[in-house]
C-alpha cells in the first residue's frame, strides 16, 4: 500500500517538473524570437514636476528637490521654474517675503496670524538676547527645557521649586532652562524686560531670542532650541521639552531613563503620541489650518505638552530640520522631522497631556507612576511635588 502511494507521489512530481520545463523553454524560445525584448520607454517615466497647490506642501516639495542631488542639478539656473525660484529670500537677517501674498490661494481672506506666519515662514534664525553659555559646562544627564512666555513668572518659579529643581536629583544631574521669545514686540504687552533681566541674573536659567513669541512661532522656538542644544548643551544625555503648565514627575522620568539600555536609549523619543491626525478645518479651533496651507495627514507626533528624547535624537533633529519646511504647529513639525529621519515617536502611558480622571487628581498615589500631567497650576505643581517627595508616601 505504502509503496504504491510513494510511486504515485513520484509520478505527480515528475509530471509537475515536466510542465515547468515546458513553460520555461517556451518562455526562453520566445526571448530568442525577440517576442519578449526589453522595451525602452520613448518618454521619461517620471511624472512631470507639478507644484503642489497647498503652500506648506509646496515649500516642502521645493526643499525635497533642493536636497535631492539628482533632481537639484536639473533645477538649478537657468532652468528654475518661477515657483521654485527662492533667490532673494535670505534667511538671515530675515526680510519679509511678500511674494506669498500672491502665491497663497485666497491670501487676503486669511486670519492675520496666518499672514504673519506665511510672510516670515522662511526665517529660522533670530538673535539670542539672553543666553546661559555655561549652564551645561558639566553635561547633565537630563536637560529640562520649558517653553514659557515672559509674563509667566509664577509658573517658572513654581517649576524651579518643584519638578524643575536643578542640580542633583535622585543622584542624576539635571539642568533646567526656560525658552522665551520677545513678548514685547509690537503686541501692546507691558515692558517686562527689566524684570526678566533681574530674573535671568538671579536664576541663570532664561534663554531668550528676539522674535515675536506667538503660538504659530513656537516652531521657531523649536528650531532655535535645537540649534542652541548643539552649541551650548551637546553633552546632555536626555532632553525633556514641554510647556510651563504641566506637572512633570522628574523622579519617575529619571528612573525610566536609568533603566534604558542601548540602542533603545540612543533612539529614545517618547510622549503622548497622536496618530492618524490631520489638520483641523473648523475655523473656531485653535489648531485650524486652511486647505490653501496644508493638505494631507499628519505624521505620528507627540503632543507638545511634553516629550522626552535622547541627546542623539536632538542632534539628528537639528540636522534634518533644515530639510523640513516650518509648519505653524510645533509638535506636528517635530513629528515631520522625525518622519524625515525615518523614526516614529513612541507612545508612553505615563504622559497624560489630556489629564487624568477627575476622581484621582487629588490622590498623591495617582502621580507616582506618571511622567507628565497637563494642565496644572503653579500651586498644584508645588503640592504634587511635596506629595511625591515625602518619604512616608506609601502607595501599593
Ligand X SMILES: *[C@@H]1O[C@H](CO)[C@@H](O)[C@H](O)[C@H]1NC(C)=O
Residues lying near ligand X in the complex (CB under 6 A)? 44, 46, 74, 77-80, 85, 87-88, 113, 116-117, 120, 129, 171, 182, 184-186, 193, 210-212, 214, 216-217, 220, 315-316, 319
| Min CB(305)–ligand X separation in Å | 21
Our CB check for ligand X shows the closer of 246 and 325 to be 325
| Min CB(160)–ligand X separation in Å | 21
Residues facing residue 280 across a β-bridge: 288
Residues facing residue 34 across a β-bridge: none
In three-state secondary structure terms, 372 is: strand
Our CB check for ligand X shows the closer of 105 and 113 to be 113
Short-list 252, 299, 251, 296, CA closest to 273? 299
In three-state secondary structure terms, 340 is: helix
Contact of 158 with 203, CB cutoff 8 Å: no
Task: Tell whether the torsion through CA atoms of 331, 150, 370 and 232 is positive or negative.
Answer: positive
Our CB check for ligand X shows the closer of 41 and 88 to be 88
Q: Please classify residue 271 by burial: count the beta carbons closer than 10 Å to its beta carbon, then call 0-12 exposed, 13-18 middle and 19+ buried.
A: buried
168 C-beta neighbours (distance < 10 Å), count: 10
| Min CB(249)–ligand X separation in Å | 19
Contact of 195 with 154, CB cutoff 8 Å: no
Supply 36's cell numbers: 519578449
| Min CB(379)–ligand X separation in Å | 29
| Min CB(173)–ligand X separation in Å | 9
Our CB check for ligand X shows the closer of 311 and 378 to be 311
In the numeric block, the cell 503660538 is attached to 215
| Min CB(243)–ligand X separation in Å | 18
Contact of 81 with 61, CB cutoff 8 Å: no
Cα separation of 388 and 347, whole Å?
24
| Min CB(358)–ligand X separation in Å | 35
Our CB check for ligand X shows the closer of 66 and 315 to be 315
Cα separation of 94 and 121, whole Å?
10
Contact of 371 with 254, CB cutoff 8 Å: no
Short-list 252, 296, 251, CA closest to 277? 296
Our CB check for ligand X shows the closer of 120 and 247 to be 120
| Min CB(276)–ligand X separation in Å | 27
Our CB check for ligand X shows the closer of 158 and 220 to be 220
DSSP code per residue over 244-301? TT-EE-HHHHHHHHHT--TTTTTT-EEEEEE-S---B--TTSTTB--TTT--SPPPPE
Our CB check for ligand X shows the closer of 117 and 333 to be 117
| Min CB(20)–ligand X separation in Å | 41
In the numeric block, the cell 507644484 is attached to 51
In the numeric block, the cell 512666555 is attached to 149
| Min CB(390)–ligand X separation in Å | 20
In the numeric block, the cell 500500500 is attached to 1
Our CB check for ligand X shows the closer of 76 and 390 to be 76
Supply 54's cell numbers: 497647498
Our CB check for ligand X shows the closer of 333 and 351 to be 333
Supply 33's cell numbers: 524570437
| Min CB(311)–ligand X separation in Å | 11
Cα separation of 209 and 181, whole Å?
5
Our CB check for ligand X shows the closer of 228 and 247 to be 228
Cα separation of 91 and 144, whole Å?
29
Amino acid at each position: 500500500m505504502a509503496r504504491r502511494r510513494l510511486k504515485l507521489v513520484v509520478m505527480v512530481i515528475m509530471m509537475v517538473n515536466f510542465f515547468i520545463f515546458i513553460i520555461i523553454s517556451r518562455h526562453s524560445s520566445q526571448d530568442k524570437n525577440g517576442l519578449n525584448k526589453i522595451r525602452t520607454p520613448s518618454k521619461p517615466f517620471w511624472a512631470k514636476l507639478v507644484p503642489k497647490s497647498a503652500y506648506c506642501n509646496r515649500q516642502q516639495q521645493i526643499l525635497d528637490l533642493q536636497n535631492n542631488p539628482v533632481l537639484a542639478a536639473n533645477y538649478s539656473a537657468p532652468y528654475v521654474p518661477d515657483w521654485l525660484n527662492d533667490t532673494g529670500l535670505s534667511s538671515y537677517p530675515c526680510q519679509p517675503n511678500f511674494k506669498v501674498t500672491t502665491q497663497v490661494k485666497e491670501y487676503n481672506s486669511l486670519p492675520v496670524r496666518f499672514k504673519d506666519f506665511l510672510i516670515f515662514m522662511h526665517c529660522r534664525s533670530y538673535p539670542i538676547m539672553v543666553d546661559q553659555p555655561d549652564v551645561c559646562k558639566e553635561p547633565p544627564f537630563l536637560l529640562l527645557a520649558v517653553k514659557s512666555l515672559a509674563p509667566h513668572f509664577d509658573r517658572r518659579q513654581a517649576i524651579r521649586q518643584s519638578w524643575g529643581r536643578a542640580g542633583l536629583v535622585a543622584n542624576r544631574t539635571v539642568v533646567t532652562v526656560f525658552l522665551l521669545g520677545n513678548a514685547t514686540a509690537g503686541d501692546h504687552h507691558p515692558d517686562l524686560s527689566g524684570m526678566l533681566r533681574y530674573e535671568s541674573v538671579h536664576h541663570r536659567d532664561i534663554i531668550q531670542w528676539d522674535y515675536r513669541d506667538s503660538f504659530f512661532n513656537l516652531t521657531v522656538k523649536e528650531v532655535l532650541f535645537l540649534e542652541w542644544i548643539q552649541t551650548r548643551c551637546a553633552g546632555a544625555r536626555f532632553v525633556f521639552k514641554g510647556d510651563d503648565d504641566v506637572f512633570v514627575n522628574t523622579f519617575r522620568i529619571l528612573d525610566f531613563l536609568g533603566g534604558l539600555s542601548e540602542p533603545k536609549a540612543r533612539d529614545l523619543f517618547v510622549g503622548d503620541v497622536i496618530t492618524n491626525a490631520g489638520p483641523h478645518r473648523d475655523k473656531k479651533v485653535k489648531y485650524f489650518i486652511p486647505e490653501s496651507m496644508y493638505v494631507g495627514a499628519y505624521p505620528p507626533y507627540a503632543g507638545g505638552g511634553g516629550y522626552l528624547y535622547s541627546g542623539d535624537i536632538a542632534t539628528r533633529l537639528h540636522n534634518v530640520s533644515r530639510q523640513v519646511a516650518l509648519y505653524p504647529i510645533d509638535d506636528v513639525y517635530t513629528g515631520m522631522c522625525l518622519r524625515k529621519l525615518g523614526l516614529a515617536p513612541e507612545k508612553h502611558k505615563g504622559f497624560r497631556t489630556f489629564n487624568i480622571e477627575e476622581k484621582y487628581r487629588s490622590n498623591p498615589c495617582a502621580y507616582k507612576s506618571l511622567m507628565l500631567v497637563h494642565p496644572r497650576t503653579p500651586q498644584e505643581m508645588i503640592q504634587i511635588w511635596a506629595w511625591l517627595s515625602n518619604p512616608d508616601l506609601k502607595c501599593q
